[in-house]
DNA sequence: CCGCATCCGTTTCGATACTG
DNA sequence: CAGTATCGAAACGGATGCGG
């Protein structure tokens, strides 16, 4: 039985929390930021959430109009969850919240990191040289493949498209996150096999170097 | 016993939710956005939250460095809670979340509205003419007095300062919220006694007219 | 009266097991 | 693969108590 409790407060913040304030709700939304996902993808991305919780949150978010369930056309036939237009507008809020969160002084735990999290961090913190030529990197993480398009100092991330990438990187989310702004991590990850690359390494270095992590907060 | 559970996820969003993701935590933070508050002020602003919950959240938020408790100098002697610098950085996030929330298609419930909520809405949605002369309005809501300073098309809200206001308005939060962008509500509230004014009514009209409420979201 | 702490019934969470 | 069923543990929500 899905949760249905309200703060009973007409304030917009409280109304937002009525919709996405339940535990795990915003993390489910986070997982959908970069594209539709199947139930099992969500479970893999959020291994600490039990299956009934994920199911409950999906039902509630759908009921509130934040997400929508869609049946993929044959031959795939499977069902995916995706954000509605309104749900997608959570993106800047979640990005800002993540920025705020990493500035916390709490110990950075060696915990899990979903592919979406690592890609969002990449997109947020990557600072490719603005005058660099456009490039497309293919990123394979956790059995899914994404495309990072570098253009005009910006990084766009989405499902891998038909465009041929200039370079490919296969690794796990934590290794990718460790690479941000740390060229040494890039080389060592390749050396010890935690990452494999093909294509033009310069495109990947362009993507991963110069990442600007926000400074921790002052008390 | 305060809550201490973690998502165990290194992502910034999850780390933020470890800190402010528990029920009521962000609403407590909201109440502190416009200045320090005593325990009892918070209870009055959040009547639907039980006292132990408020106490628990305050303890947790303090432990995480979001808020701080401060003893007012004599003769006041009482204790107040206030946001730390890091806690204050939640402000744009909460404002954005509130904007997102009011765009939800759920029925606008006739529920309660705290003074802080109404003032945040005023600050967010007020659109005073940019070429209007600066003015200070004093706003008395729920036994506390605030100052709204109009300058260059912007509205700044804070605790009432020593500056003499051009106009004063005494009403309740819901009536104030109803006035936003609705000149008729302003006049009728005064007519039926739900609001009292003194000073120059033009300053108040400048503040309350032309409010731009965001359009509801499309599905 | 303010600032909580304690008690207690209800709801939600979280883990595991199970089904179409 | 995509969920449902069940159950103990924790958190919530309301009431009441209690020292300063």
Nearest-by-Cβ selection for B93 from A17, A100, A113: A100
Sheet strand arrangement including B167-171: B154-159, B144-151, B135-141, B167-171, B196-199
- The C-alpha of A116 sits at a distance from chain B's nearest C-alpha, in angstroms, of 9
B152 pLDDT tier (thresholds 50, 70, 90): confident
Instruction: With a cut of 70, say whether residue B219 has pLDDT above it.
Output: no
Nearest CA in chain B to A215: B86
Instruction: With a cut of 80, say whether residue B106 has pLDDT above it.
Output: no
Decide which of B154 and A218 is more confident: B154
In a mutational test of the B interface, the residue from A3, A5, A14 whose CB has the highest number of chain B CBs within 10 Å is: A14
Give the Cα separation of A117 and B29 in Å (integer): 25
Give percent of chain B with pLDDT exceeding 90: 75
Residue B120 CA distance to nucleotide C1 C1' (Å): 29
Three-class SS state of B32: helix
Contact B177/A at CB under 8 A? yes
Residue B80 CA distance to nucleotide C13 C1' (Å): 33
- What is the nearest nucleotide to B7, using C1' and CA? C14
Residue stretches of chain A with pLDDT short of 70: 107-108, 110, 218-219
Interface of A with B in 26-85 (CB under 8 A): 26-27, 30, 48, 64-65, 68, 84-85
pLDDT, tens only, B9-46: 999 999 999 999 999 999 999 999 999 999 999 999 99
> Considering only residues 34-93 of protein chain A, which place a Cβ less than 7 A from any atom of strand D?
38-41, 50-52, 55, 58, 69, 78-79
pLDDT, mean over chain A: 92
pLDDT, tens only, B157-212: 999 888 899 999 999 999 999 999 788 999 999 999 999 999 999 999 999 988 88
**Structure-token pair, residue B51:** 């006292």
Contact B18/A at CB under 8 A? yes
B74 pLDDT tier (thresholds 50, 70, 90): low
Instruction: With a cut of 80, say whether residue B215 has pLDDT above it.
Output: yes
Residue A41 CA distance to nucleotide D8 C1' (Å): 28
| Sequence-distant contacts of A178-186: CB under 8 A, at least 24 apart | A179/A208, A180/A121, A180/A122, A180/A125, A180/A126, A180/A208, A180/A211, A180/A213, A181/A125, A181/A208, A181/A209, A181/A210, A181/A211, A181/A212, A181/A213, A182/A211, A183/A208, A183/A209
């Amino acid at each position: 039985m899905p949760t249905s409790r309200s703060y009973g407060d007409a304030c917009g913040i409280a109304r937002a929390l009525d919709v996405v304030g339940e535990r795990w709700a915003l993390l489910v939304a986070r997982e959908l930021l970069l594209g539709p996902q199947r139930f099992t993808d969500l479970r893999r991305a959020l291994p600490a959430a039990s299956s009934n919780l994920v199911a409950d949150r999906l039902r509630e978010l759908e009921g509130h109009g934040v997400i929508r369930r869609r049946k993929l056309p044959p031959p795939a036939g499977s069902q995916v969850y995706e954000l509605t237009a309104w749900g997608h507008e959570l993106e800047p809020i979640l990005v800002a919240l993540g920025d705020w969160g990493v500035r916390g002084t709490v110990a950075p735990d060696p915990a899990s990191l979903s592919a979406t999290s690592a890609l969002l961090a990449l997109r947020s913190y990557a600072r490719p040289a603005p005058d660099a030529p456009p490039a497309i990197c293919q990123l394979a993480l956790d059995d899914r493949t994404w495309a990072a398009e570098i253009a005009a100092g910006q990084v766009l991330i989405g499902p891998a498209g038909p465009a041929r990438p200039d370079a490919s990187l296969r690794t796990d989310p934590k290794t990718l996150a460790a690479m941000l702004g740390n060229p040494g991590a890039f080389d060592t990850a390749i050396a010890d096999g935690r990452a494999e690359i093909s294509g033009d390494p310069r495109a990947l270095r362009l993507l991963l170097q110069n990442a600007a992590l926000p400074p921790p907060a002052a008390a």
